[in-house]
Structure 1
Amino acid sequence: MPGTAGTGTLGSMAVRFSASLRRALIPFALAQFICSYAGSNMNVMINDISEDLNTTVSGVQVTITVFLLVMAALMIPGGKLTDRYGRKRCLTAGLLIYAVGALLSAAAPGIWVLVLGNSILEGIGTALLIPPVYILTTLLFTDMASRARAFGAISAMGGIGAATGPLIGGFITSFFSWRVAFLFQAAIVILIAVLSRKWVTDPLPADPDMPFDVRGSITSALGLVLVVSGILAADDNLALCAGMVIAGIGVLAWFFISVRARERAGKPVLLSMVLFKNKTANLGMITQNLQWLMLMGTSFVVSAYLQVVRGYNAIETGAIFTATTAGLLLSSLGAERFARRRTQRTLIVAGFAIAVVGIAILVPMVSNIGGAWAFVPGLFVSGFGLGLMLTPSVNVVQSAFGEDLQGEISGLSRSVSNLGSSLGGAIAGTILVAGIAATPGRNYALAMIAVAAAGVIGLAAALALPRGRVAT
């Protein structure tokens, strides 16, 4: 499946896709864009939200991380619900819940209302709306080549949304208010709901009698919540941190054991174990997880450091992050051409190597050499590397399975990516926040080193991918 991306890909699709498919792809791509945008745009609002809601950097970090965690924990159950209630119905419900959460966030009088609106309601809405996007794409784009291009456009829009979040969020926050940034999100999801109602069709009927694995949904979500919450607690209580992480790993282990037993007994399960028996897909999902960890970890750490320590406002911070956006867009726009010349494995390996170099450039920036604009080269290089491998990783995972498992692997793939985003905010953010007042420079460097270490692990996983071009 060839790597595809961004604006260039959408333009090339105008020739290959029917008018109805082109129209359907627009709300799909916009949905992935706004959900990824929502995960990063708050990074440039840290000072504004902290002052307005009388909270701390840690409070904003928790809000961002919990949003990403709710998405990761509920993405797979959300995908299963689409069979029972219908994919278009779940898409619409997710968009409406998201809009309510965004409006509540815009009016939040305190941090806990913001957590309810942004972290919980927007997170639930995203978990309901994203699986239908990928499942409907699988159903509507019936041949592998067109489906690859559709997935490429959607996933690339996700990367662009995450990269442009700081810029757009910074602009809105500086010239209007951080609250208007949430109104912007609400307006976009309402637009998507309108376009989906007009242009999206569900080719399969809902099955109200479809069994649903409630126990598996609860245990998988609980395990992920415990692990990420434990990491967030590291700043306050290391014993509590270790206990929660160990408990979370135990719950997840129990989840896999029980799913295997139920599947052997012929009972309905949340995830088929066959999804974890493919080495290529497993390695691909590891690379997906670590790519998003690097992207969100870098975004939060650099944004928080520039605002809290250097005193930059939202628009200045967002402007500096245009370097990431430029790098990601440049590599995304060339992804289809790169994929014709290089294997997916080569692109993923090169992407990690380049991204790690970019992070390494960012580490010495704590010395304040050249001011905040000295962050630009490192952000550009890391963005270029991440953009180079985002779509190939999706293609590697999706192409590892046949038609019958495309919907299920799509949900798992999205969950793994969102978990990476939440881990990026939790791990790198916690390292930074733990000493942002006393030793900001040291903690910034340690946080960026942690992000680089994740990139090295991702590089090792990419090198373990089988050689050869993925079939189109």
Structure 2
Amino acid sequence: MTTPTTVRAGHPELGRAPRRRPRILLVTCCSALFITSLDNTIVNVGLPTIGRDLHAGVSGLQWIVAAYTLVLASFLLLAGSLGDRFGRRRMFRAGLTIFGVGSLMCGFAPNLPSLIVLRAVQAIGGAMLQPNALSTITGVFVEPRERARAIGVWAAVFGASAAAGPMAGGLLVGGLGWRWVFWVNLPIVAAAYGLSARVMPETRSPDPRRLDGVGQVLVVAALAPLTYAIIEGPSAGWGSPGVVLSGTVGAIALAAFVAVERRRAQPLLDVRLFASPRFAGAIGIAVLAFMILSGFLFLNTLYLQDARGDTPVMAGLLVLPATAVIVVVSPLTGRLVARRGPRLPLTAAGIALTAGPLVLVHAAATAPYCQLAAGYLLLGIGFGLVNPPITNIAVAAMPAARAGVASAVATSSRQIGNVLGVAVIGSLVTIDHPHVGWYLLAGCGAAILTTALATTPRNSRLPILTSRDGGRAGV
């Protein structure tokens, strides 16, 4: 077997990777995005069944989801930096191994604590996959049109994973049991691992950034305690010592992170990026949009199976209008952004993401499906409209040399939104006010509309990721 060449020459970040079997390489890299994104959504349909089998309450179900998204959000930037330094192919294959082992063991988890820990193991592998896969793609597909098509495929795979998650989860849970929502990853991991040995070149940055260990520790020290406080507050009491201590530690760590990163020459996250209103607006919209998505999937799953008594298979089928429309609308939105700029799709997204939850606010257990379908369609249209412009705004708002870190921050912000959506919405369900959750999601949609109008200029056209952006782009 021929060993792929290590590439350092060419582009200042990636080098020009040897173009060996580029289509197979694209499939290999996109398969990593598919399984890591799928695991954000496929588990949701199985939560009620997992809860009954492992005797987990709502906060336990929140942790099953939050453990994955929290670790993924915390380590994406570090994993990209490690790939720059030690080789993206090496990190990709290591990520596949960790993700595969985590998926296998999740399926054997005997109790709730072990499942939560193993979900975190999965996420460590997932964090190593996404940035290094996309960095490899942008290094191999260097011609602008080729890169545009490759990034378009990457975006389509993201939409497909969102659409496949609820349906696949419902079929697996209903037919084989909830453990198969984790084991289904294994054939894809094995295929990607074998293909990567044959077609994936080794690339690394000729001038890698220094690893920011202090910044990484502070990220974890901020996100984990804050998430704990939000999830456990309703059951333990917002004034309980553990919740107050966790919230305080998280807030102090967050403030320390901002202060430390402002003074570092090569920070994990350059907080000065947020001085750009367009960049800050894009990141804020990303957090809000994915908070809506994860909150909707969590809240709606409990509503369909616990309140209405639907089976997991039926729950997956019922949300198909929302997930399928994401696949249809997302590529059309990319073309719209290229022609008209991001303001129009983001404005329309804000309206749809506000209206969708409002339709579902007073949906009783006997609500007609036409009412549910209307809300689901609006949410699917809104999410299909909001996702494609986010990275393009973030990248276009920065100089070319900072495009990689800008898109990596956009990718991380999505995962932070996933964490917050599950934590906050789940807390509202715990205190038996699910309608408040729908109102909160509608408020997030209104905030997207307001932010889009305030930060995106009229008649602006932003470049789709076709230039040599030089780094870890995200979709």
TM-score (norm 1): 0.88
Question: Residue 248 of structure 1 aligns to which amino acid in structure 2?
Answer: G
How does 1:70-149 map onto structure 2 within 5 Å? 70-118=71-119, 120-143=120-143, 146-149=146-149
Structure 1 contact 156–390 (Cα < 8 Å) conserved: no
Name the SS for the 2:291 alignment partner.
Answer: helix
Find the counterpart in structure 1 of residue 222 from structure 2.
223
Indicate if the aligned counterparts of 2:221 and 2:249 stay in contact, CA closer than 8 A: no
2:443 and 2:244 mapped to 1: Cα distance? Answer: 21
* Structure 1 contact 68–123 (Cα < 8 Å) conserved: yes
Question: Aligned in 2, Cα 1:55/1:206: closer, same or farther, shift over 3 Å?
Answer: farther
Contact 1:47 1:57 in 2 (8 A): no
- 3-state SS in 2 of match to 1:397: helix
Structure 2 gaps of 5+ residues are 1-18, 465-475
Shift of 1:217: 0.7
Query: 1:276 — aligned with what?
Result: 274
Q: How does 1:405-416 map to 2 (within 5 A)?
A: 405-416=402-413
Match of 1:398 in 2: 395
Of 415, 435, 442, the match for 1:452: 442
Q: Of residues 456, 463, 469 in structure 1, which corresponds to 2:461? A: 469
Cα distance in 2 for residues equivalent to 1:192 and 1:402: 34
Q: How large is the RMSD of aligned CA atoms in angstroms?
A: 2.2
2:305 paired residue number: 307
CA distance in 2, matches of 1:205, 1:332: 31
Task: Determine the C-alpha separation between the residues in 1 that align with 2:62 and 2:335.
Answer: 38
Comparing 90-99 with 344-353, which one deviates more in the overlay? 344-353
Q: Find out whether 1:43 has 2:35 as its counterpart.
A: no
Partner of 1:5: none
Alignment of 1:101-250 (within 5 A): 101-118=102-119, 120-143=120-143, 146-204=146-204, 211-236=210-235, 237-240=237-240, 241=243, 243-250=245-252
Offset from partner CA, 1:24-46 (integer Å, 9 cap, x none): 22222222222111011111112
User: Within 2, Cα distance between the matches of 1:330 and 1:415?
Assistant: 25
Give the conservation status (yes or no) of the 8 Å contact 2:354–2:442: yes
Change (3 A) 1:255 1:145: farther
For the residues of structure 2 that align with 1:24 and 1:455, how far apart are their CA atoms?
Answer: 37
Work out whether residues 308 and 366 of structure 2, in 8 Å CA contact, stay in contact via their aligned partners in 1: no
8 Å CA contact 1:96–1:125 kept in 2: the answer is yes
Q: Decide whether aligned partners of structure 1 residues 345 and 391 sit closer, same or farther in structure 2, where only a CA change above 3 A counts.
A: same
CA shift, 1:205, in A, is: 6.2
Per-residue CA shift, 1:340-370, capped at 9, x if unaligned? 5432221111112112211211112136332
Judging changes above 3 Å, is the alpha-carbon distance between structure 1 residues 27 and 164 closer, same or farther for their aligned structure 2 residues? same
Corresponding residue to 1:261 among 263, 268, 282: 263
Tell whether the 8 Å contact from 1:152 to 1:391 is kept in structure 2 after alignment: no
2:66 aligned partner: 65
1:232–1:426 Cα contact (<8 Å) kept: yes
Task: Please say if residues 81 and 209 of structure 2, whose CA atoms lie closer than 8 Å, have aligned partners that are also in contact.
Answer: no
Matched residue of 1:132: which SS?
A: helix
For residues 153-181 of structure 1, what are the alpha-carbon distances to aligned partners after superposition, in whole Å with 9 as ceiling and x for unaligned?
32342233123211111011101111112
**Is contact 1:35–1:158 with CA below 8 Å preserved after alignment?**
no
Counterpart residue identity of residue 113, structure 2:
W
Q: Is the 8 A contact 2:88 2:203 kept in 1?
A: no
How many Å separate the matches in 1 of 2:418 and 2:250? 18
Q: Name the one with the larger helix percent.
A: 1
Q: Which residue of 2 aligns with 1:15?
A: none
Counterpart CA distance in 1 for 2:150 and 2:440 is: 34
State which drifts further: 97-106 or 136-145.
136-145
Please identify, of 145-154 and 340-349, the stretch whose mean Cα deviation from structure 2 is larger: 145-154
User: CA contact under 8 A between 1:99 and 1:122: conserved in structure 2?
Assistant: yes
Query: Do the aligned partners of 2:338 and 2:462 also contact (CA within 8 Å) in 1?
Result: no
Amino acid at match of 1:258: V
Deviation, structure 1 residue 279: 2.1
In structure 2, what is the equivalent of residue 438 of structure 1?
A: none
Q: Is the 8 A contact 2:339 2:461 kept in 1?
A: no
Answer yes or no: is the 8 Å Cα contact 2:359–2:371 preserved in 1: no
- Conserved? CA contact 2:321–2:380, under 8 Å: yes
- Displacement of 1:244 in angstroms is 2.9
* Displacement of 1:117: 1.5
Alignment partners' CA distance in 1, 2:195 and 2:407 = 23
SS in 1 for 2:124: helix
Aligned equivalents of 2:35 and 2:179: distance in 1?
A: 16
Gaps of 5+ in 1: 1-17, 436-442
Q: Distance in 1 between matches of 2:338 and 2:411?
A: 25
CA distance in structure 1 between the partners assigned to 2:226 and 2:257 by the alignment? 14
How much does 1:146 deviate?
4.5
Return the alpha-carbon distance in structure 2 between the equivalents of residues 189 and 321 of structure 1.
Answer: 27
Q: Which residue of 2 aligns with 1:439?
A: none
